Amino acid sequence: MKGHHSCRRVAELLSQRLDEPLGLLDTIQLRVHMAICRNCQHVEQQLEGVKSLTAALFEADTGFEEEVKKPTAHEQGNRKSDRREE
């Protein structure tokens, strides 16, 4: 493949592959280039790392939902004052 121009195309294909399956021709071009280009191999590793970290972030049980469901201090104060008025 032709140096820098093909590396740009491969970067586009690597990114596209994260979102959708590639066609046969794009897959072949990507594999051929990846077999000979260390720089693009490194880019692929970086993208896979970002993908893994992002997936882990969204899968992590942070307890956020439970915290959101808890009443705020203001809401708790209103409940106490409501009880006093009864």
DSSP states of 13-70 as a string? HHHHHHHSPPPHHHHHHHHHHHHH-HHHHHHHHHHHHHHHHHHHHHHS--SHHHHHHS
Domain boundaries, the chain: 3-61
pTM for the structure as a whole: 0.59
Q: What is the mean pLDDT of residues 37-46?
A: 95
pLDDT digits (tens, 9 = 90+) for 54-72: 888 777 766 666 766 778 7
